[in-house]
């Protein structure tokens, strides 16, 4: 790692002011992506602002028909939260499948969403559940938040404080892990609420997480795994690497969608 | 330099450190607790797993500064008065180690699995839960046996 | 069998320190005044160094020295060597290019060592490395070995203008051609043995220490063979004469071959320690391990096998290209030649074999021995050929193998090896029974009902271990003898220290070697200490690799124990006032035949040291004996592994449902440890078949340079294994041991690929058979099925 200054503020306001004081400062949430990147000397922040001691960022609450999760909630907290397991079991299951147990004890939902890694799991849930990202400045709809690989609507000095998930009628997440890294090579989150069906895909595209509209249309017509068959998945902008070419990933999107629908139907 | 204080294996420690000091460096270099190992750069091998406030974490992917005020337990802190922890004993009894390098992380993760999943662990669960710990020697066969046996033994030692 | 003697599943003595975090690996050691080294590595696969500007780094905070290849040259430090001479077909010696520990004018692979920074802290050393400026003249790299010798290819080493290290052959070409002329069926196959990266969990590390008062060096290093390291560093690299260089290999966290070799980093640390006047420590990170540990395997082969009309094998011809990387690593040259071709007869009676091997330079990391070293490559060729031949001829693969098994011993193959003993049919019988082969058809149908493809695959492997008779390997080009040494020191109270030249880095020698002593001297294993890994303590040794520590290392101990018992009998005769011929030694007691007069082993040891009962003219006091054991033949472990797996055709995911391993290791000292070795070997073999593969892009960048992209087997990738044992004791060593360390890694890959191709309907597939590759092949199979 390159040298950096370290600050551990106690409030969101102090975080904001610390960010203002250091050019190229970065927020340290769980650090499970940031620290390995820094260890490889691929990132050189001048300062790390550690959110570990900021009050009020870890709560998981039910508010009306939403589950609201603090940005510093660890993956393990979300996975084991009774509230989440009851209201949105697919989200708890997703959190319980990120990384490995030790990573889940450190990694946070806010860190994952803010980073928008193209093979992260949470962005698929945020998008498919139509969540709202709450920052210290505003509320951002999921559809507006993700703006391509590692790019989000967050502005300088803007910090995610919580994420609000509407409770779906049916939902499931199924991923195909990269055999080496175990990150999602393709992850598909399917949700249904009333007549609305959303299908969000992570891991596959060069653009990061995206909604699969063709699959959504087919599933709106009939929410059934069979409906997925015959829907062509356009892999033209998919990632191609040694683990999977674009056409293989396109196949996986179909297969994982089918499996997610089956799971959402409780079969 | 910044100051950190924490409890490590029941002992209060504090030091002035470079902010970029990882918890594993703090343990190995400042405290000379060299049982915690580093086997990769990408947070995947798990040789560095320790418990912070009772939960398994990867000490190579955590700043020592972030652990200020916490209680840390390493492999050196498991045995008490010469009596091995049941999970340590299970690894020895079931030949769950060969070169020994991944072993401290394996044992720390195994105890965490039992803390979360209970004492009756089937093979499938153990294999899934060991996703973050890589061993090159054993083919995991005897590690899986060790964890299952250690989990049972931990129930008896409560 | 006693509780701690030969054959007992004794729990390991070494485990206590490992499970309590008290192991002492190289990086756990810190020397007073220690400095830290960081290497600047080449980012390019092939380039000339036009200018190397170290001034910025020299001025950086905490920096003590910045050293380059010029400094090595000025100090007369020699290059790294390859210790096995291979001659080409035309009799010319292999073309070994220079291999400086720090680049001298040219870099030849990504990760090649350009310069070293030595600083007060590791962070400072790494910061300063980035302040070295190198002006590279980029050269076109040679990455694909299939085209390494093409005309117009860039030249990697001037001594090898066509990038060919050697063009070697073995066997009788004429006899083989005659065999093919009368063949009724010929099976042909193109086979790739994928390149692997060893990945011992402990990265390599070294600490160089220099004592100016005595002008003596100490090197702590992650080595499987510290004496060989000392020999090479002394005699060839010229760091210091042997008596002024102590090499210590403390606890070593796995090796699998990759820690046999003498590397640039340890050379630099020990040399630099004198230059900076302080200890110099380097600990590799995982990225450096990926880039610069010697890789393994990497062959492309065309093989043809001739059969008569009944399916008897008549002949085999094999043409292999072996990638040796950018430099010849310590033993690299022998791996695709003498450790490979002589194993191509497998377990089969093959009258004629002819093998040609081309060793090639490419701009990739050096390739050398990795668990099995040559033998997995040979086994993959022969076991794929046999499987495909059986299928092509419509015969059951187990029956086809059995028909061709060697059934009488000793057996001389056409490719050097003389197998002493074995019973291949017995292993096959037991394996078929354990694997429930007869009900496989039903299981396959059950899988099909779920939409899954099930397959079964065999691997009847043989390996040559206990490497090896010194005169024999010397005649084949080895630069060293491959005996082993041992010294047994009995203390006056009867405890025993065994000093061995073998090195344990996971194998459990502290337990198994103590079991041998316990068995022979009738004392408990807690009375025995095994000392290894320090050239100041152990006189000499050849180290641990090639599954040799049981067959060779323990044979040396056995020989020394014979001498100890003989001497102790003399002492006992004086002490018991009897004639030496009347002394019997049994269960730890020396007794006078036909009387009740006896002394315990410890009492005799005390008598040997106090020397009150005999005169120094008649008998020397003390009880300490040494032995060198040079084997008279290789040993030939063998066995049958059966893999049964299921493929999900929608995703290509392969799940191993059952693994049966039946091995014949000869006599076994500790079955618990032997099974552990088998488990680990199978896991590495399955890793090669399904998961692992080093991948360089066209520019020579290593794409698989971390666990993000190099797929290491994890717990949930693997099944539990069913292990069976058959035993035909080795006839050529005193203990009847054959060796077990590499068997799994040798046996497993063809078993997996034979099972996958069985499931897919005989579609050939390359390793690693990743989900993507299997999915693609499965789609073709399904289309073919649909068309039928």
What are the tens digits of pLDDT across the range C237-295?
999 999 999 999 999 999 999 999 999 999 999 999 999 999 999 999 999 999 999 99
Domain with B134, as residue range(s), is 86-156
Q: Which residue range is the domain that position A255 belongs to?
A: 170-264
pLDDT tens sequence across C173-219: 999 999 999 999 999 999 999 999 999 999 999 999 999 999 999 99
**Total domains in the fold of chain B:** 2
Domain termination residue (choose one: A166, A197, A223): A166
Q: How far apart are CA A51 and CA A71, in angstroms?
A: 10
Asked if C357 and C337 touch (Cβ cutoff 8 Å), the reply is yes
Residue C277 confidence (pLDDT): 97
Q: Which residues of C touch A41 (CB under 8 A)?
A: 126, 130
Q: Please give, one letter per residue, the 3-state secondary structure of C284-295.
A: CCHHHHHHHCCE
Q: Which of the 8 DSSP states describes residue C581?
A: G
Selecting from A6, A36, A48 the residue whose C-beta is nearest the C-beta of B61 gives A36
Distance CA C685, CA C746 (A): 7
SS (H, E, C) C294-343: CEEEEEEEEEEEEECCCCCEEEEEEEEEEECCCCCCCCHHHCCCCCCHHH
The residue whose two tokens read 């000379």 is: B32
Q: Which residue has the tokens 């924490």?
A: B6
Tokens of C562: 């014979």
Nearest to C289 by CA among C547, C41, C546: C41
B107 and B130 co-located in one domain: yes
Q: Measured between alpha carbons, how far is A41 from A35 in angstroms, rounded to an integer?
A: 10
Strands (E), chain B: 2-8, 11-17, 49-52, 55-58, 71-73
What would the pLDDT profile of C722-742 be if each residue is shown by its tens digit?
Answer: 999 999 999 999 999 999 999
Mean pLDDT over A226-240 rounds to: 94
Parallel, antiparallel or unpaired: strands C35-41 and C280-283: parallel
Contacts A182 to B, Cβ<8 Å? 44, 131
- Say if residues A200 and A127 touch (Cβ distance below 8 Å): yes
Domain identity same for B93 and B36:
no
Structure confidence at residue C545 (pLDDT): 84
The pLDDT > 70 percentage for chain C reads 100
Closest CA to A164 of A193, A140, A143: A140
What is the CATH T-level fold of the domain C296-467+633-787, as seen in this structure? Aldehyde Oxidoreductase; domain 4 (3.30.365)
Beta bridge partners of C107: C47
Mean pLDDT of C450-470: 94
* Contact state of A3 with B18 under an 8 Å Cβ cutoff: yes
DSSP H helical segments within C613-718, as ranges?
671-686
> Given a cut of 90, is residue C230 above it in pLDDT?
yes
pLDDT in tens, C126-153: 999 999 999 999 999 999 999 999 999 9
What value does the mean pLDDT take over residues C297-311? 98
CA atoms within 13 A on the CB side of C676: 30
- Chain B CB contacts of A39 under 8 Å are 22, 41, 60
Helices A246-264 & C771-787 angle (0-180, nearest 10): 80
Beta strands per DSSP E along C579-717:
583-586, 589-592, 598-600, 624-629, 638-648, 653-664
Size of interface A-B (CB pairs under 8 A): 82
Q: Which of C704, C771, C773 to mutate to test the interface with A (most CBs of A within 10 A)?
A: C771
Interface predicted TM-score of the whole assembly (ipTM), two decimals: 0.98
Identify whether residues B91 and B68 lie together within a single domain. no
CB atoms A101 and B66 under 8 Å: no
B25 and B45 inside one domain: yes
- If asked whether residues A161 and A149 sit together in one domain, one would say yes
Chains that touch C (3 or more CB pairs under 8 A): A, B
pLDDT score for B23: 98
The CA distance from C573 to C579, in Å, is: 6
Largest CA distance in chain B: 47
Task: Answer positive or negative: Cα dihedral of C628, C634, C640, C643.
Answer: positive
Distance CA C121, CA C283 (A): 12
Question: How far A164 CA lies from chain C's nearest CA (Å)?
Answer: 31
Taking residue C396's Cβ as centre, other Cβ atoms within 10 Å add up to 13
Distance of CA C681 to the CA centre of its chain: 11
Shortest Cα–Cα distance, C766 to chain A (Å):
14
**Whether B71 and B7 share a structural domain:** yes
Q: Do B112 and A101 touch (CB under 8 A)?
A: yes
Distance CA C305, CA C350 (A): 10
The CATH code of the domain that includes B116 is: 1.10.150.120
Q: Do A180 and C776 touch (CB under 8 A)?
A: no
Q: Fold for C483-629, please state it.
A: Aldehyde Oxidoreductase; domain 4 (3.30.365)
Let me know if C439 is exposed, middle or buried by CB neighbors in 10 A (0-12, 13-18, 19+): exposed
| DSSP-assigned letter for residue C737 | B
**Cα dihedral angle (C394, C398, C404, C408), rounded to 10 degrees?**
-160
Q: Do A105 and B56 touch (CB under 8 A)?
A: yes
Select the residue of C130, C651, C695 nearest A255 (Cβ to Cβ).
C651
Residues B36 and A61: their CA atoms lie apart, in Å, by: 37
Q: By a Cβ cutoff of 8 Å, what residues of chain A touch chain C?
A: 1-3, 40-41, 176, 179-181, 183, 242-245, 248, 251-252, 255
How high does pLDDT run on average in chain C? 96
Which of C674, C537, C504, C544 minimizes the C-alpha distance to C225? C544
Please tell me the distance from the alpha carbon of residue C499 to that of residue C508, in angstroms, as a whole number: 15
Give contacts of C508 with chain B, Cβ < 8 Å. Answer: 98
Please state which of the four CATH numbers 3.10.20.600, 3.30.1490.20, 3.90.1150.10, 3.90.1170.50 is assigned to the domain occupying C31-139+201-254+259-292: 3.90.1170.50
Residue found under tokens 């390359």: C766
Q: CB-CB: which of B44, B57, B60 is closest to A105? A: B57
Task: For C641-677, write each residue's pLDDT tens digit.
Answer: 999 999 999 999 999 999 999 999 999 999 999 999 9
Q: How many other C-beta atoms lie within 10 A of the C-beta of residue C355?
A: 27
pLDDT at A65 over 90: yes
Task: Using an 8 Å CB-CB cutoff, list chain B residues near C251.
Answer: 99-100
CB-based contact B45 C707, cutoff 8 Å: yes
Q: Which of residues 704-733 of C touch B (CB under 8 A)?
A: 706-708, 712-716, 718, 720-721
* CB contact set of C81 (below 8 Å; sequence gap of 6+): C96, C99, C232, C236, C237, C262, C330
Structure tokens at C410: 């000793």
Strands A47-50 and A25-28 turn out to be parallel
CATH number at residue A11: 3.30.43.10
User: CA dist C125 to C31, C39, C119, Å?
Assistant: 17, 8, 5
Quick: pLDDT tens for C39-61. Answer: 999 999 999 999 999 999 999 99
From chain A, pick out residues whose CB is under 8 angstroms from the CB of B116.
101
Chain C residue numbers touching A251 (CB-CB < 8 A): 650-651, 775
Confidence at B158, pLDDT banded by 50, 70, 90? low
CB B78 within 8 A of CB B109: no
Of B55, B66, B112, the CB nearest to A52: B66
C721: pLDDT strictly greater than 90: yes
Which regions of chain C carry the CATH code 3.90.1170.50? 31-139+201-254+259-292
Nearest to B46 among A2, A102, A106 (CB): A102
Here the CATH number for the domain that contains residue A251 is: 3.30.390.50
Q: What is the dihedral of CA C444, C450, C452, C458, to 10 degrees?
A: -20
For position A90, which CATH number holds?
A: 3.30.465.10
Give the pLDDT confidence score for residue C1 in this predicted structure. 60
Which residue from A minimizes the CA distance to B3? A6
Domain count along chain A: 3
List the beta strands (DSSP E) in C491-636.
496-500, 528-531, 583-586, 589-592, 598-600, 624-629
Which residues make up the CATH 3.30.365.10 domain(s) of chain C? Answer: 296-467+633-787, 483-629
A123 and A33 inside one domain: no
Nearest to C711 among A180, A248, A255 (CB): A180
Q: Which two tokens stand for residue C57?
A: 């780094």
Pick the last residue of a domain from B46, B77, B108: B77
Cα–Cα nearest to A124, from A103, A142, A101, A97: A142
DSSP C145: G
Q: Do A102 and B42 touch (CB under 8 A)?
A: no
pLDDT at C550: 87
From the list B19, B41, B109, the residue facing A4 with the nearest CB is B19
Q: Does C61 lie at the interface with B, CB-CB under 8 angstroms?
A: no
Average pLDDT for A214-220: 97
């Amino acid at each position: 790692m390159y040298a950096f200054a370290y600050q551990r503020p106690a409030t969101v306001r102090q975080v904001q002011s610390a960010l203002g004081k250091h050019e190229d400062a970065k927020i340290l949430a769980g650090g499970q992506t940031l620290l390995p990147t820094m260890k490889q000397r691929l990132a050189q922040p001048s300062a790390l602002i550690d959110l570990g001691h900021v009050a009020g960022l870890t709560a998981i609450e039910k508010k009306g028909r939403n589950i609201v999760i603090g940005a510093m909630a660890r993956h393990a907290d979300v996975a084991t939260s009774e509230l989440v397991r009851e209201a949105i079991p697919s989200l708890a299951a997703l959190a319980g499948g990120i990384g490995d147990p030790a990573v889940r004890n450190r990694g946070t939902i806010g860190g994952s969403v803010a980073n928008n890694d193209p093979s992260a799991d949470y962005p698929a849930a945020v998008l498919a559940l139509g969540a709202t990202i709450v920052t210290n400045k505003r509320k951002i709809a999921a559809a507006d938040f993700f703006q391509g690989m590692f790019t989000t609507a967050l502005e300088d000095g803007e910090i995610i404080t919580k994420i609000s998930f509407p409770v779906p009628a049916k939902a499931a997440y199924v991923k195909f892990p990269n055999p080496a890294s175990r990150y999602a090579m393709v992850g598909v989150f399917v949700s249904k609420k009333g007549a609305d069906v959303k299908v969000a895909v992570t891991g596959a595209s060069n653009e990061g997480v995206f909604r699969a509209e063709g699959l959504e249309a087919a599933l709106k017509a009939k929410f059934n795994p069979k409906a997925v068959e015959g829907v062509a998945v356009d892999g033209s902008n998919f990632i191609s690497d040694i683990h999977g070419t674009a056409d293989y990933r396109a196949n996986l999107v179909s297969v994982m969608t089918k499996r997610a629908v089956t799971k959402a139907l409780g079969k | 330099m910044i100051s950190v204080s924490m409890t490590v294996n029941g002992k209060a420690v504090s030091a002035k450190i470079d902010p970029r000091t990882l918890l594993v460096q703090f343990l190995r270099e400042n405290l000379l607790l060299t049982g915690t190992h580093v086997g990769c750069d990408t947070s995947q091998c798990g040789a560095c797993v320790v418990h912070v406030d009772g939960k398994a974490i990867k000490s190579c992917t955590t700043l020592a500064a972030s652990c200020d005020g916490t209680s840390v337990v390493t492999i050196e802190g498991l045995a008490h008065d010469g009596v091995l922890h049941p999970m340590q004993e299970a690894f020895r009894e079931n030949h769950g180690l060969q070169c020994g390098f991944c072993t401290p992380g394996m044992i720390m993760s195994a105890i965490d699995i039992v803390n979360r999943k209970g004492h009756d662990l089937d093979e499938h669960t153990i294999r899934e839960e060991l996703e973050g710990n890589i061993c090159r020697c054993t083919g995991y066969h005897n590690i899986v046996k060790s964890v299952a046996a250690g989990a049972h033994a931990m129930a008896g030692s409560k | 069998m006693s509780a701690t003697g030969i054959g007992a599943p004794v729990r390991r003595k070494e485990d206590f320190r490992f499970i309590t975090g008290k192991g002492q690996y190289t990086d756990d050691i810190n020397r007073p005044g220690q400095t830290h080294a960081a290497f600047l590595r080449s980012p390019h696969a092939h380039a000339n160094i036009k200018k190397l500007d170290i001034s910025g780094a020299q001025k950086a905070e905490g920096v003590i020295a910045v050293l380059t290849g010029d400094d090595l040259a000025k100090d007369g430090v020699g290059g790294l060597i390859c210790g096995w001479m291979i001659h080409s077909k035309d009799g010319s010696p292999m073309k070994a290019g220079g291999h400086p520990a720090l680049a001298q004018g040219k870099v030849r692979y990504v990760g090649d060592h350009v310069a070293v920074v030595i600083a007060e802290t590791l962070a400072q050393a790494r910061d300063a490395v980035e302040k070295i400026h190198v002006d590279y003249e980029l050269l076109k790299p040679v990455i694909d070995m299939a085209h390494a010798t093409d005309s117009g290819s860039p030249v990697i080493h001037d001594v090898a203008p066509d990038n060919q290290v050697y063009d070697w052959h073995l066997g009788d070409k004429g006899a083989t051609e005659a065999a093919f002329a009368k063949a009724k069926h010929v099976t042909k196959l193109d086979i790739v043995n994928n390149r692997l990266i060893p990945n011992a969990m402990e990265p390599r590390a070294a600490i160089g220490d220099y004592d100016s008062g005595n002008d003596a060096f100490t090197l702590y290093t992650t080595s499987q063979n510290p004496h060989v390291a000392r020999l090479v560093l002394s005699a060839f690299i010229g760091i210091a004469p042997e008596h002024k260089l102590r090499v210590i290999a403390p606890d070593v966290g796995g090796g699998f071959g990759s820690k046999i070799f003498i590397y640039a980093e340890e050379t630099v640390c020990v040399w630099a320690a004198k230059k900076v006047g302080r200890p110099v420590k380097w600990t590799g990170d995982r990225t450096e391990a990926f880039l610069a540990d010697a890789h393994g395997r990497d062959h492309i082969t065309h093989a043809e096998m001739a059969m008569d009309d009944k399916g008897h094998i008549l002949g085999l011809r094999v043409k292999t290209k072996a990638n040796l990387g950018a430099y010849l690593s310590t033993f690299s040259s022998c791996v695709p030649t003498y450790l490979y071709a002589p194993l191509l007869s497998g377990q089969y009676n093959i009258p004629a074999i002819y093998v040609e091997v081309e060793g090639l330079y490419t701009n990739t990391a050096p390739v050398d021995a990795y668990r099995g070293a040559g033998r997995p490559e040979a086994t993959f060729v022969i076991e794929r050929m046999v499987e495909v031949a059986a299928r092509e001829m419509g015969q059951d693969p187990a029956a086809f193998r059995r028909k061709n098994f060697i059934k009488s011993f000793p057996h001389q193959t056409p490719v050097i090896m003389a197998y002493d003993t074995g019973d291949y049919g017995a292993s096959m019988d037991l394996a078929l029974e354990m694997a429930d082969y007869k009900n496989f058809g039903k299981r396959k149908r059950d899988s099909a009902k779920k939409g899954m493809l099930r397959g079964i695959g065999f691997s009847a492997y043989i390996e040559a271990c206990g490497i090896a008779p010194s005169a024999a390997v010397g005649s084949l080009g080895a630069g060293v003898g491959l005996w082993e040494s041992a010294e047994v020191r009995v203390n006056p109270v009867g405890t025993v220290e065994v000093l061995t030249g073998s090195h344990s880095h996971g194998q459990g020698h502290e337990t198994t070697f103590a079991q041998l002593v316990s068995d022979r001297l009738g004392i408990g294993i807690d009375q025995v200490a095994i000392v290894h890994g320090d050239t100041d303590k152990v006189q000499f040794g050849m180290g641990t690799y090639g599954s040799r520590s049981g067959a060779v290392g323990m044979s040396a101990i056995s020989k020394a124990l014979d001498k100890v018992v003989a001497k102790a009998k003399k002492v006992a005769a004086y002490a018991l006032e009897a004639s030496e011929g009347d002394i019997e030694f049994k269960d730890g007691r020396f007794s006078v035949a036909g009387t009740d007069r006896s002394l315990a082993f410890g009492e005799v040891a005390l008598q040997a040291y106090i020397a009150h009962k005999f005169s120094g003219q008649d008998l020397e006091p003390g009880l300490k004996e040494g032995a060198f054991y040079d084997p008279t033949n290789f040993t030939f472990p063998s066995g049958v592994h059966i893999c049964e797996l299921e493929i999900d055709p929608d995703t290509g995911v392969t799940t191993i449902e059952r693994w049966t391993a039946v091995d014949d290791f000869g006599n076994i000292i500790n079955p618990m440890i032997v099974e552990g070795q088998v488990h680990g070997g199978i896991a590495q073999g399955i890793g090669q078949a399904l998961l692992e593969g080093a991948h360089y892009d066209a520019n020579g960048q290593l794409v698989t340079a971390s666990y993000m992209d190099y797929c290491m087997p994890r717990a949930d990738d693997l099944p539990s294994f069913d292990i069976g044992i058959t035993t035909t004791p080795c006839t050529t060593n005193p203990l009847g041991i054959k060796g077990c360390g590499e068997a799994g890694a040798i046996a497993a890959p063809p078993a997996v690929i034979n099972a996958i191709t069985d499931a897919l309907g005989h579609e050939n597939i390359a390793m690693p058979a990743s989900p993507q590759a299997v999915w693609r092949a499965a789609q073709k199979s399904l289309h073919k099925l649909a068309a039928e």
